[in-house]
Amino acid sequence: MREFKLAQPQTLEQITSMPEDKSSFLMAGGTDLLDEIKNEVISPSVVIDLKSIPDLAYINETNEGILIGAMTRVAELAENAAIRSYYTVLHEAALSLATPQLRNMGTIGGNLCQRPRCWYYRDPQVQCRKKGGSRCYASRGRNRYHAILGGGICHIVFPSDLAPALISLGARITIATADGDKHMPLEEFYTLPRENVQKENILKPNEILKEIDIPLAKNGMNSTYLKLKERGTWDFAVVSAAVSGTIAGNTFSDISIVMGGVAPIPWRLKSAEQALLGKAATEDLVKRVAKDAFKDARPLEENAYKIELAATVVTHAVLSLIQGSKS
C-alpha cells in the first residue's frame, strides 16, 4: 500500500476550493475507500477525511419531511424513530446493510457514493474499462452477479441498499460545490456506464454530497424493502426491490418501484408503476406486471436466473403492501 497524506479540513469550502487533483479521495466512514486502498485498486496521494468537518451528521424532522446529513451513521438511520414509523423502506434497507459494526462506521453519504463490488474492478491486476482499460471482463467472464439491465459497455451492479429505498421515497440531495449548493432528485445523481464508464454518479472533483431531503410521508403511504442475498450473514443484494406507495384497498394512487442488484444504477421500473396505478392490483395483475418489467433484460451467460428472481421480488414486495393496507 502506497503512503498517502491525510487532510482534515474544517469546512466544506476548504474542499470545494481545492485545486483539482485526481489522486485525492474523499473519505466518509472509510469502510469502502480503505478496502480499495488496501487492495491497491486505488493509490491516493491525499485522503480527505470528512469526519473533521462539524455538523454534517444529523437527522432533523421538519414540516416538509426529514433532513439527513451525509455523515450520519447508517446505525443512527436504522434506529431513528421517525424513519422507523413513517419510512419503513429506509428503515429496512438500513438494517439489511452489512453488520452492526459496519453500520456504526458507515455513513449514508458513503453508502450512496460507494464503488462497485465487481471482482474484476476490485482486482488490482485487472485493467477493466472502469479503471481506464479497453474491456469489460465480466461480459465474457464470470458474471453470475452482474447486470441484466443498463450494462452494455460495463456490467457492474450498483451495491447500495439505501439508494433504491431513498429514490422510492422521492428523496432529493444537496451537493456542495465551489459555486454554492446544488439540489436535485437523488434519482438524477447516478449515471450509466455509457455516459461515463469510470464513474457511477455526477459528482465532479471537489464536489461533496452534503444532505439528503426526504419529503413528508403522505397519509396512507406504506413501503417495504425486500432483499435477496446469497449468504445468510451480511452480504450485498443479488436482487432487491424498494417499493413505496399510497394504497386504498388494493388500488394504488401512487407507487414507486426501484431495483437494486440488476443494473449499474438503482433501476426504477416506471412501466410497472404506470401499469399498477389506479387499477385493482390483483395477484395475477401484479405477477404479470412484474414479469413484463424485465422483458428487455439482457442477461449474460451466468445470470439469466436474475430475471425470474427480480420479477418474484417485485411481486412479493408489491403484494406485501396490498396485504398491509388491509390489516
pLDDT score for 111:
95
The secondary structure of 16-56 as a DSSP string is HTSPP-TTEEEESS-TTHHHHHHTTS---SEEEEGGGSSS-
pLDDT at position 21 is 82
pLDDT at 326: 64
**Residue 150 pLDDT greater than 90, yes or no:** yes
Per-residue model confidence as pLDDT tens digits over 280-312: 999 999 999 999 999 999 999 999 999 999 999
- Interatomic CA distance for residues 116 and 199, integer angstroms: 10
40-69: b (≥16 Cβ within 10 Å) or e: ebbebeebbebeebeebbebeeeeebbbbb
Q: Is the Cα dihedral 92, 94, 98, 101 positive or negative?
A: negative
Please choose, from the candidates 302, 323, 256, 247, the residue with its C-alpha nearest in 3D space to the C-alpha of residue 278: 247
If one counts every other C-beta atom within 10 angstroms of the C-beta of residue 287, the result is 16
Question: In degrees rounded to 5, what are phi and psi of residue 260?
Answer: -120, 155
Residue 216 C-alpha cell reads as 413528508
User: Residue 232: its pLDDT value, please?
Assistant: 67
Distance in angstroms (rounded) separating the CA atoms of residues 286 and 228: 19
pLDDT band of 3, cuts 50, 70, 90: confident
Q: What counts of helices (H) and strands (E) characterise the chain?
A: 12, 12
Give the C-alpha separation, 2 to 81, whole Å: 43
The predicted-structure confidence for 229-269, as pLDDT tens digits, reads as follows: 987 667 899 999 999 999 988 899 999 999 999 999 999 99
Q: And the C-alpha cell for 300? A: 449474460
Q: Identify the burial level of 103 via C-beta atoms within 10 angstroms of its C-beta, where 0-12 means exposed, 13-18 middle and 19 or more buried.
A: buried
Domains plus CATH for the chain? 221-326 (3.30.390.50)
